[in-house]
Amino acid sequence: MSAPETGGRRALALAIMALIFTVMLPAAGLALSIFGIILAIRDLRALQAAKQRIGMATGAIVISSVAFVLGLMTTAFQFYFSAELAAYTECRKGAGTVEAQQHCSDQLIRSLEKKLGVTLPPDFPTPA
């Protein structure tokens, strides 16, 4: 099917999948959002040439762009704090009590503060 026949629905579906994947698997969402932007631009051009409505293709570009930015930020965060997050994961594996889990969360906060060079507020949300 060509873009005028589908009216940008494929691009919109891919954009929504990219947004969902960005929340679950940021790197996969990042890749899907790039494909979504490319497909949406192709559909947008084809729809404009056929003098049809471009609403879905435009929406797909916007949603894919949002998914791309969120995926990029999340992936960058994971790479930057990879050592701290890996240490937290290992600590949580051995934490059998609530007190031990709280110790792991406190240790994560201290390592984030050290890496960032700032003191986080006492009410900063921590993983449970």
Kindly report, residue by residue over 68-110, the tens digit of the pLDDT: 999 999 999 999 999 999 999 999 998 889 999 999 999 999 9
Q: Do 48 and 91 fall into the same domain?
A: no
Contact 47, 33 (CB under 8 A): no
Q: What is the pLDDT of residue 127?
A: 78
Q: Which of 125, 124, 111, 29 is nearest to 70 (CA)?
A: 29
Asked whether residue 67 carries a pLDDT value surpassing 70, the answer given is yes
35 lies in some domain: yes
pLDDT on residue 38: 95
Predicted local confidence at residue 31, as pLDDT:
95
Residues 76 and 46 in one domain: yes
Q: Which domain holds residue 95?
A: 82-116
90 and 42 part of one domain: no
Q: What are phi and psi of 84, to 5 degrees?
A: -65, -40
The count of structural domains within the chain is 2
Residues 87 and 75 in one domain: no
